[in-house]
Amino acid sequence: MILYDLVNQKQAHFSPNSWRVRMALAHKGLSYEVSDLLFGGVPRISPTGEKRTIPTIEHAGRQVTDSWEIVRYLDDAFPNTPRLIADATHSAESHVLKFFQYWVQTTLHAGIARLVMLDLHNSLHPDDHAYFRSSREKQIQKTLEDFQAGRETRVDDFRKSLQPLRLALAHGPFVSGDQPGYADYLAFGAFQWARLSSPFKVLAEDDVVHAWFERCLDLYDGLGRRELAA
């Protein structure tokens, strides 16, 4: 198994969606090799020129792209490992988990981007700077500098938006209960992305979400913690 993944200037694997897959692979006890790329290398992942995004895995001669599709593939291809996304007989449960992924995307990813986007740019390999700036400034319709400005006063709103996560963590050490599950890995990816891309503290240290994130960093012999923080 090969995981195609992005690295920044410090060789840290900062992609939030890749962390979902990295944690899923560790949860299942599956081993793999990593193929490190810059953004500029992504179009060369597919030998036949098909569109790929990060993360992409290659297994048994096949490439699978998109974190959700990859985890479903792993659930099916390795039926003797613990499932992370409920199967078709529990369709309601997998849909609610997908909602959780959308909450992560719209609240955590979008919220964190507003706090660290310029730092993230600066953490990338210089060869990626021009691509990152032009593609992201086109999306956000302002400069990276303007987008990140004022974060000290805006960070409180971001922290308030974590309230449902905070309430859920009153029921156990993990979002998924006594043991971590895919919901934890979805949310973990977002905070790990922040940690690897910027020194800015997106979480207050006395927040239960902070304590949960530290617990996630310790999982699987400190798999997440070993990655070099910004």
- Give the footprint of a second copy on this chain (CB under 8 A): 86, 90-100, 102-103, 105-107, 163-165, 167-168, 171-172, 174-179, 181-183
Nearer to a second copy, 85 or 196 (CB): 85
Integer-rounded Cα Rg, in Å, for the chain is 17
Measured from the CB of residue 43, what is the shortest distance to a second copy in angstroms? Answer: 27
Q: How far is the CB of 102 from a second copy (least distance, A)?
A: 4
- Taking the complex as a whole, the smallest distance from the CB of residue 147 to a second copy amounts, in Å, to 18
CB contact burial 52-86 (16+ within 10 A = b; e otherwise) = bebbbbbbeeebbbbbbebbbebbeeeeeeebbbb
Q: How far apart are CA 52 and CA 128, in angstroms?
A: 17
Residue 100: alpha-carbon gap to chain centroid: 13
Work out how close the CB of 86 gets to a second copy at its nearest, in angstroms, rounded to a whole number: 6
**Which residue number, 81 or 122, has a Cβ lying nearer to a second copy?**
81
Question: β-strand 2-6 against 56-59: which pairing, if any?
Answer: antiparallel
- Nearer to a second copy by C-beta: 44 or 98? 98
Shortest CB 13 distance to a second copy, Å: 25
Percent helix, strand and coil across the chain, each to the nearest 5: 60, 10, 30
Question: Taking the alpha carbons of 72, 175, 111, 195 in that order, is the dihedral positive or negative?
Answer: negative
Minimum gap (Å) between residue 174 Cβ and a second copy: 8
Please identify, using beta-carbon distances, which residue of 35 and 107 lies nearer to a second copy.
Answer: 107
CA-based end-to-end distance of the chain = 28
* CB-nearer residue toward a second copy: 19 or 100: 100
**Which residues are within 8 A (CB) of 125 and not within 5 positions of it... i.e. 6 or more apart?**
7, 8, 9, 38
Nearer to a second copy, 87 or 146 (CB): 87
